[in-house]
Amino acid sequence: MSLSIRIRNQTHYEIEFFTDGPEDSFRKMCQRAPDDSLRRGVMQFADTMFNSVQLHRFVEELESLPESEMTPSIQRALDGAKLAIRKSGYLYFVGD
């Protein structure tokens, strides 16, 4: 089962929900990330939540990826992070 990503607003109401693609590109990208990055903190078998303040750094990290690594799953997570920021909300990752 893939990592699922949930976009929540300020009151934790779920706005959108999606899963990493069958190739698990988002999860694999997080595992390859530098130790000091937020991406590396996304847990494969546990839940992880970033607030809107943390999401600014997360967006910077994703936008700095080479274009060749920007899979549809990673782009969707980037778009979700931007939406969560606009809603003063959260990006919530659910590991399997």
What CATH number is associated with residue 66? 3.40.1760
Number of domains the chain contains = 1
pLDDT at 58: 98
Strand partners, 90: 8, 51
Task: Give the helix, strand, coil percentages of the chain, each rounded to 5.
Answer: 45, 20, 35
Distance CA 32, CA 38 (A): 12
pLDDT at 7: 97
pLDDT at 21: 87
pLDDT at 96: 79
Rg of the chain taking only CA atoms, in angstroms? 12
Write out the two tokens for 45. Answer: 């078998």
Q: Are 51 and 28 in contact (CB under 8 A)?
A: no
Query: What letter does residue 48 receive in the DSSP assignment?
Result: E
pLDDT at 29: 96
pLDDT at 22: 86
pLDDT at 1: 57
Walking along the chain (96 residues) 10 residues at a time, the average pLDDT comes out as 90 95 92 95 94 96 96 96 97 93
Range of the domain at 25: 4-94
Write out the two tokens for 53. Answer: 């303040």
